[in-house]
Each structure stands twice: as C-alpha cells, then as structure tokens.
Chain A
Amino acid sequence: MKGNEAIAHAAIRCGCDGYFGYPITPQSEVLETLALEKPWETTGMVVLQAESELASINMVYGGGASGKRCMTSSSSPGVALMQEGIAYMAGAEIPGLIVNVQRGGPGLGTIQPSQSDYFQATRGGGNGDYNVIVLAPASVQEMADFVDLAFELAFKYRNPAMILSDGIIGQMMEKLVLPPFKPRRTEAQIQEECPWATNGRKKERQPNILTSLELDSAIMEKKNLHLQAKYKEIKEKEVRFETLMCEDAEYLIVAFGSAARIGLKVVEMCREEGIKAGLLRPITLWPFPSEEIARLGQRVKGILSFEINAGQMVEDILMATNGQTPVAHYGRMGGVVPTPDEVIRALKEKLIK
C-alpha cells in the first residue's frame, strides 16, 4: 500500500482516539483512507475533516489535553499553518502526533516532494524555546511503525511528536507488515496514565489546568527550565539512527527519509568504484545523532550531507563535527529528486577532489 495509507491503517491499529485533518496534496490519502475504513464503527476512533489546519491542530491540542491519543496529518504549507498550535502544545505539555508529508516550498511551492521543512520541524517552528520529537521514515513500513512509536514518545514526555515524511514516501507503494492491533485505552487507563489530563475533575484532586500562559517571569523561567531539562533527557535517551558500511568508510553520507534510499544506492555504487563510502541515516532528526556523527567524523575524510533541500541538516552536522571534519552539502529543490549519479559527482567534486 501507499505510505499515506499505511499511516491511516497504523493509526487505527495502535489505539489512536482521534484524527483531525484538512485535505492537502500529497497526503490526502490519510484522511481518505480513514473515511473509507470507518474506524468509529470498530475501534471507536473519531475521524473529522476540520475547516482548516489551524482547527485540526487545535483539535489535536484539545484531544491531547483530555488525555486521548490524537493526531493530524498535512503537507508543508498546512504544517506551517499549524505551528501556532504546536508551540501551544509544547508550552502546555500536551502530547500529540503531527505527520508532515513534505512538498517543496516556499509558500504554496509545489506538490512535488521535498525535505525543505527540516528546519521548521527540528527548530521548533513556532514561537518560544521548544523542541518537537521528529521521526523520519524511509519506507512505507516505517510510516506504519512510527505512528505508535511517535504516540509512545509523545505521551512518555508529554510533548508533541512529528513524523517528517515526504511526497515520495507518502505516495510510494511498498509491501509492509501492519502492526498488531492495540486497543484504545479505557477511561480508567487514561486517568491513571495521564493524571494531568483535563477530562473532568475528580473530587479527590485539584482542577487540572492546561495552559502555556504565565505572566510571572520568575515562574515562566522555571517552566522553561523544566522544558529544557525534559529536552535534555530526550536527547540523552531517544536518539535513533541507522548506519551502513560506516566502520571502514572514508567518506560518510548522511541522509534521512527518501534521500537515505538514494544514499543507499550511492554507497553501493561508490563501493563498486572503489570509493569507501558509508551511510548514516538519522531516524530521529530531533534529537539529532550528533555524538555518532562526531565519532565517525574523527575517522572519515569528509561528510556529505545529502538532503532534498538547499542545505538544512548540514548545519546540525557542522555543529556536531565542530570544524574537525570537512563537511559539504548536496541537494536539489523545487520537487526535483536527485539521482545517485549526481550525488556521487558532488561527493567527488566537493570532498574527494
């Protein structure tokens, strides 16, 4: 099935309570599949086409605040519109899942695939000092697997989580094993697991108030310090990545999502030519696998950040390597998908020389 369809099926299967979305190419199949599957008749999952992305994300905000597993999906311009709500979720510590099936920008841009929302996803995107947990699937299988993983992480840390996919993975058809069915949590389970949730104050507790507002700057700073401590813990515990042929590599390609699939071919072709290339694929874009890249950076002659954008992740690689390793970027924009040949050419021109 298509990547977008996999997201929808995985949501139904992982105990998702609510999906709220607004159509946009190239991800409309998520809402369409859910509408066809009618999960409200089986698992009781709520599916609603909202009036805008603004409304969708605020429905996720409300649903998450009440302790339910809620999600939305969209594509780049729509996710841009959601940034206000995501910042509010981060500020009020409300868990939820946002899926971005990226297309090229800026602005209305193109409906063709791109990875140009890397900054938006990993730098917060909205106002204030905050981070969103970002997972980057590179296959239809991972589109399905990451839905439950994202919810688990979001609720574990009371933080919004994002699946940063793109039009290639969203529209691509692949075989996959759908995750096993997991029932939606009962009211008692939600009240036990989410004692902070706003779903009706029980007599034995104080009212729960979920807000991102605090006018006293001393208290607001404390709140920020609490968030920063949480982000530090996430950075320590939740970094995920995959490496291929890195141990003897002289040149390291770093690529995520659909670019990593091209990167795989690049490494194979390089090896055939006698160039010892390896691939590191960050699975979490935030937290970023900085330590592993720094470690490999000590041993390789150069790192090529290969992204389908103008060069965004390359900044994280530069920070990780801190000037110790030559680092270059190669990418295309506007919905153009690079071929392995041009990546190898770039590797030779920019790093091997």
Chain B
Amino acid sequence: MTEEEIIRPENLVYKKPTLLNDNPMHYCPGCSHGVVHKLVAEIIEEMGLEEKTVAISPVGCAVFAYNYIDVDWIEAAHGRAPAVATAVKRLWPDRLVFTYQGDGDLACIGTAESIHALNRGEHIAVIFINNAIYGMTGGQMAPTTLMGMKTSTCPYGRVADLHGYPLKFTEIAATLEGTCYVTRQSVHSVAAIRKAKKAIRKAFENSMQGKGASLVEIVSTCNAGWKLSPERANQWMEENMFKFYPLGDLKDTTAEK
C-alpha cells in the first residue's frame, strides 16, 4: 500500500474526534486526562450533541479542559462544578450537562456540592478523575491519597493519625438515592479505555434521558506527581490503586426505569 492509498477515507480505521482541537495540551506525557478528553469528545460527536452540550470544568489540572474540546464550557470555582451544572441542567433540560472534576475538586473542597447534586438526582453526568494527588499545584496530598503514599504535604507517607484516611467517594455516591449509575473505570489499557468509553457514554445518555445523576470515576495516573515514568505509573496504579479502588460498576438502576 502506498501512503496515498493509506490515507484514502475508505482505508482509514481511526481519526481524531473533530471536537478535539489542535491546541497543544498542557497535560504531562503519560497523564490520563488526554485519553479521557478524547473519549468525551468522541462520545459527544457520536451522540450528535455538539450543539447541545454544556460542560463544566473544575479547578485543578483539568481547569483548561475548555481549551481542547470545542463545546460550550463554564469554568467553575474550586469544587462548585456540580452546583453550576445543577442550574444549567434545570434551566436547559434538553442539554447534555456534565462536570469534569479531579479528586481535590470533587471529593475535598467540593464534597458538599458533589454529594447534594448527586443526592438530588440532578440529571447530570459527573466525570471524576482520581489520581490520588494534587497535580496542578505540584503534588500535594489529596483526599484519595493512599495510606503510606508520599506527597509533598505528607513527605513521609500518609499516616492515619496525622492525615486521616483516603476517601472512597464513589462508594458513598452509590448509597445516594439520587444516583442512577455509579461506576469506577480506568484508562490504562486498550480494554480499559473501551470500558471507560462505554461508561461515560451511558452517563451521558442518562443525562439526556433524565434518569438521574451518574458518576464515572476514572482511576488515573499522575506520573509527574507520583514521580514515576508513564509505564511505571500504570504498573503502580494496577498494583496499588486498584486494590483500594476496585474497578467496576457500583450501581446501575437505569435498566429498571
């Protein structure tokens, strides 16, 4: 096959989603954000919701998500994305409204907003990137930092009497009446990426169909914050993160409705 033949449309097997623009990403090489961004852009396109999407970005590494996916974005104050999303969805019920938040934003400073928006059953999708560390500010302890894990604010490792315990927010979310779909995924392998895509798509469908609140946690790597190579970070995540944050669906009531 010549190069010209390869790039003929009928021979293409993969292309970058149109909604993902060409702005150079600020994410570190090996970070999970880029993969999840691509999935989000793909799903919006596949669902034909380019003109119906309002996305809410957090404070944290994903604050600049609005620079990469060409839909309307509102940048929320730290932790308040679910409150922002609540209003947008209630005022524009036929729109796809989702938040994209990290562990510090969603499970620490914004715990109240997260729990109450989910518990009210707002018809929003919440994408929760859990990499157990504060990436944007340079690697401080997160609410989801594992016991023993070292960060710049627990440099000798997380210990319970000094720092308390890591928070399993997704398990809490699954107990709330307002959530219809709660799942924990990852994007460390091709198979995992496919599963994560299905999960995000389902959460978006739930928002459009008014089925209640959906939470998709993506257990993610922060190789820069963890001070590991991208490959080692994936391995470390599998060995340590998945033990404490096991992958899979925690709740799905959408089939019954």
Contacts and interface: CB of A to CB of B under 8 A. Distances in A.
Interface in B35-81: 50-54, 56-57, 63, 66, 70-77, 80
Contact of A210 (B53, B63, B74, B91): B74
B203 interface: no
A66 B91 contact: yes
Nearest to B86: A59
Interface stretch (A100-108, A200-208, A271-279, A303-311): A200-208
Contacts of A55: 80, 83, 86, 112-113, 116
B73 A210 contact: yes
Contacts of A203: 50-51
Given A201-B50, A209-B66, A62 B112 contact: no
Contacts of A56: 83
B237 interface: no
Nearest to B69: A207
Interface stretch (A84-92, A260-268, A281-289, A332-340): A84-92
B56 A62 contact: yes
B92 A200 contact: yes
Contact of B73 (A17, A46, A209): A209
Contact of B88 (A63, A201, A206, A207): A63
A209 B75 contact: yes
Contact of B84 (A52, A61, A208): A61
Interface in A157-187: none
B72 A201 contact: yes
A63 B54 contact: no
A65 B84 contact: yes
A198 B74 contact: yes
B52 to A, nearest CB: 5
B91 A18 contact: yes
Contacts of A201: 50-51, 53, 70-72
Contacts of B52: 200
B87 interface: yes
Contacts of A153: none
B184 interface: no
A211 B50 CA distance: 20
Contact of B75 (A18, A54, A92): A92
Interface string A126-148: 00000000000000000000000
Central interface residue in A55, A63, A210, by most chain B CB within 10 Å? A55
Nearest to B63: A213
A59 B97 CA distance: 13
Interface string B73-111: 111110010011111101110010000000000000000
Given A58-B77, A201-B51, A207 B72 contact: yes
A98 interface: no
Contacts of A63: 87-88, 91
Contacts of B85: 62
A60 interface: yes
B47 to A, nearest CB: 13
A46 B93 CA distance: 11
Central interface residue in A52, A58, A85, A213, by most chain B CB within 10 Å? A58
A65 B88 contact: yes
Given A18-B91, A55-B83, A61 B76 contact: yes
Of all A-B residue pairs in the complex, the 5 with the closest CB atoms, nearest first, are A62-B84, A211-B75, A198-B72, A59-B87, A62-B87
14 contacts: A46-B87, A48-B86, A61-B76, A62-B74, A63-B88, A66-B91, A68-B91, A70-B87, A198-B88, A200-B51, A203-B51, A210-B73, A211-B74, A211-B75
Given A58-B87, A59-B84, A209-B66, 15 more contacts: A20-B87, A46-B90, A55-B83, A59-B83, A66-B88, A68-B87, A85-B77, A201-B70, A202-B51, A203-B50, A209-B74, A210-B73, A211-B66, A211-B73, A211-B75
Interface of B: 50-54, 56-57, 63, 66, 70-77, 80, 83-88, 90-92, 95, 112-113, 116
